[in-house]
Structure 1
Amino acid sequence: MSELHVDPLPSKDVPTPVVDTTEDDVDTSGKNTLNQNSDVPNSVENLGLKDPAMSEKLGKTVPNPPTVVDANIGDDKGMMVEFKKSMMEAFDMTDLGKMRFFLGIEILQKSEGIFICQRKYATDILKKFTMSESKPVNCPIVPGSKINRDVNGAAVDDTYFKKIVGCLMYLTATRPDIMFSVSLISRYMSKPTELHLQAAKRILRYLKGTTSYGIFYKKGGETDLLAFTDSDYAGDEEDSKSTSGYVFFLSSGAVSWMSKKQPIVTLSTTEAEFVAAATSACQAVWMRRILKNISHVQEGSTDGEIELVHCVTQEQDADLMTKALKLEAFQKLRKKMGMLDFTEVN
């Protein structure tokens, strides 16, 4: 992964954008579409790069502000060097080297693998909600606890509560260890009470002690896509709906995870497991197509075929996505997700 900093082209060389007000070019938001600067996509095509996604990305370069182009051209270092050289001949550019920071996600690329985390973002969240001096806890939710609507509880500011949940949801991009607890409190954003706010603050207290945690993908790790899926039957005390959860592994780390209450009321544990497995299967098919598109075909598998294997409770990694686990089990599964502290890999 690398970054290229593209400086704006001189104004005299940039054609004036023309507003086309034809009916076909007006999007659903009511904003008219501007003709794009044709120099960028033409230069990309001249380099022999036919990737439509890259062409579209580079073609949207705006002449006024500088633009950062995240150009993913695979593992071919020779092609990467040639690509940078050719682009620098066509545009005023600065090579920022290996990617280190992107949309709040910190990336540490080492010879042993790649580590991603949201250390700065987590620290900013704690400051924003005045939890920087709070006492850390070892897990984001009280083991074995259940949360309900708490209809008789003291109401709290719903806007403030939604801000906390929103920030935590973005943090789950690199933190599968808080996925279940964040998903749980997000169910009560309409009329939150003190009970729900305390549950949210506990997650923040957990972050206080694990701010630098992230996922480490080891070089030369397992190349086969492996998924675990599970359900917590009738886990919701009020509507008896179950919770589905899955986690996908690749190269010794979690690459995709989910925790979500099922949309229907299942009548048995078997049905609940079937719903969870079906959701996971859809994700598996999609991910295998993505891997195929980037030339990482799964060996020994047939397109459209998924092998189901029974997993004993002690080895069920998806438990982290469906229930509040005891501390020992929680820490064990967190480690299996590939999660480490920043200091352990730096």
Structure 2
Amino acid sequence: MDTIRVLFSVAANKEWSLHQFDVTNAFLHGDLTEEVYMDAPPGFSGGFKEGEVCRLKKSLYGLKQSPRAWFGKFTLAMKEYGYHQSNADHTLFLKRRNGLVTCLIIYVDDMIITGDDTEEIARLKRNLFSKFEMKDLGNLKYFLGIEVLRSKQGIFICQKKYVLDLLAETGLIDCKPADTPMVVNHNLHMELNGELADKGRYQRLVGKLIYLSHTRPDIAYAVGVVSQFMHQPQVAHMEAAQRILRYLKGTAGHGVLFKTNGHLKVELYTDADWAGDKGNRRSTSGYFSLVGGNLVTWRSKKQNVVALSSAEAEFRGIARGLSEVLWIRKLLEDIGFSQKGPSKVMCDNTAAIQISENPVQHDRTKHVEVDRHFIKEKLEGGIIELPYVASKDQLADILTKAVNGNAFSSCLSKLSIGDPTTQLEGECQK
């Protein structure tokens, strides 16, 4: 989904059209290159002797080799048409011709085609339809459970139907909405002798919430917290997960809006909550990235080791955010929009910035030496900048609230998130 959101931001800024196609019985197109045998299907076993089986030459649904066989055949077809796979995402196929670009991204049997080369898009469509049995679904409107709305203001994505179906499934369709996805300073942890919840029900619910967070950055932190207790959920954890559902009841139509801002600069904001986990005192770091002024990726994750200081926690957060920036820059370069200057990685910790920029070796940073050299190398190469941004800054404040589990939803309008269902052809409601 990260690549798709980046493509949406590029399409919004460059005013590219978005086309959707579907492959009928995709797995049946795959060719098997290895020996696979199966028992004779019912109705065809009469002429078989005892111990005789069938050898498959084509893939079938239910066969573990089928996805790989289908994607391999599709990749060969795209290469025949002059396309190459992106090094940043192998499901993205690109072709540049006469200064124009065509992009195709595929997920199993669903594909999106965009770009500014209308002739090549038409040619690709004819080639694919002659090679595979396909359906032309027209302009992109619904993809993998995500609703896509386009207006003069930009491209809006949300999962309203998914939310309503989830509320109906869990019996909370008529519940009282909550103001925030999680209580401030929740301190969720594994309680000694705590009452256990239904493990299967909890895992199914959290799994669906994880998929919903692809278009809902406002619940990303809360979902990350409840997903830490999948192995042995307790009643308190189930109540926290249900609070997320009650929050969704009042914000079912929220999503992400990709506006036309006239540029494709990459920026990233990072922050960390030092020793915030009550159970093991590990820190939580988070970041969100912008491409062309639009939100494209966001993460909130507990760190793998205990940080000895707030500077160390912030430092590790910068390193993780920097990896994201490098991936986005590589993806944009593959599409044909190389960054002309360094990307800004915003941080609100002056100590972490000074350690990153200072070429002198410090004994107190030996435990984060790999991260320090990684950041320093990119700074010296002019790939990133590390400007200081105060926590009171509106965008830094958004991430701070996301990481700390505060009322992130109150800041949605600052990230162009809203519900456009009341004005599909006008500005999205914030």
TM-score (ref. length: structure 2): 0.67
Once the two structures are superposed, the pairs formed by residues 17-32 of structure 1 within 5 Å of their partners are 20-21=34-35
1:202-217 matched pairs, under 5 angstroms: 202-217=243-258
Match of 1:2 among 2, 19, 29: 19
CA distance in 2, matches of 1:91, 1:145: 52
Is 1:219 the equivalent of 2:265? no
Separation in 1, partners of 2:307, 2:164: 40
Q: Is residue 244 of structure 1 aligned with residue 285 of structure 2?
A: yes
2:385 and 2:327 mapped to 1: Cα distance? Answer: 15
Q: Secondary structure at the match of 2:195?
A: coil
**CA distance in 2 between partners of 1:170 and 1:39 (Å):** 28
Cα distance change on mapping 1:55 and 1:126 into 2, 3 Å: closer
Question: Which residue of structure 1 lines up, in the alignment, with residue 403 of structure 2?
Answer: 322
Match of 1:27 in 2: none
Partners of 1:42 and 1:171 in 2: how far apart?
Answer: 33
Letter of the 2:290 counterpart: F
One-letter identity of the residue aligned with 1:248: S
Pairwise CA distance, 1:193? 1.7
Distance in 2 (CA, whole Å) between partners of 1:267 and 1:55 is 38
State the partner residue of 2:233.
192
Q: Does 1:110 align with 2:188?
A: no
- The match for 2:142 among 101, 105, 113 is 101
- What is the DSSP-based 3-state SS (H/G/I as helix, E as strand, rest coil) of the residue aligned with 1:20? coil
Provide the C-alpha distance between the structure 2 equivalents of 1:182 and 1:124, rounded to a whole number of angstroms: 18
Cα 1:250–1:344 shift into 2, 3 Å: farther
Aligned residue for 1:72, secondary structure, equals strand
Is the Cα–Cα contact under 8 Å of residues 275 and 284 in structure 2 kept in the other structure? yes
Shift of 1:297: 1.5
Aligned length: 323
Match of 1:132 among 173, 187, 191: 173
Write the distance in 2 (CA, Å) between the matches of 1:243 and 1:202.
21
Q: Secondary structure at the match of 1:314?
A: coil
Q: Residues of 1 paired with 2:21 and 2:303: CA distance?
A: 43
SS of corresponding position for 1:70: strand
Query: Separation in 2 of the partners of 1:39 and 1:186?
Result: 36
**Is the contact made by 2:78 and 2:84 (CA closer than 8 Å) also made in structure 1?**
no
CA distance in 1, matches of 2:84, 2:311: 44
CA distance in structure 2 between the partners assigned to 1:194 and 1:75 by the alignment:
52
- Higher alpha-carbon deviation: 229-238 or 85-94: 85-94
Alpha-carbon distance, 1:147 to partner:
1.5
Q: Match of 1:339? A: 417
SS of 1:313 mapped into structure 2: coil
* Aligned counterparts of 1:191 and 1:18: Cα–Cα separation in 2: 41
Structure 2: distance between partners of 1:240 and 1:56: 38
- Which residue is 2:6 aligned to? none
Distance change >3 Å, CA 37–CA 291, structure 1 → 2: closer
| Aligned partner letter, 2:82 | L
Structure 2 counterparts to residues 107-186 of structure 1, below 5 A:
107-186=148-227
Structure 1 residues 51-130: aligned runs within 5 Å:
51-52=84-85, 68-88=109-129, 93-130=134-171
Give 1:241 deviation, angstroms. Answer: 0.8
SS in 2 for 1:109: strand
TM-score scaled by length of structure 1: 0.82
In structure 2, stretches of 5+ residues that fail to align are 1-17, 37-62, 94-107, 344-377, 425-430
Give the partner amino acid of 2:411: L
- The alignment's C-alpha RMSD in Å is 3.3
Alignment partner, residue 25 of structure 1 = none
Of 309, 313, 332, 1:268 maps to 309
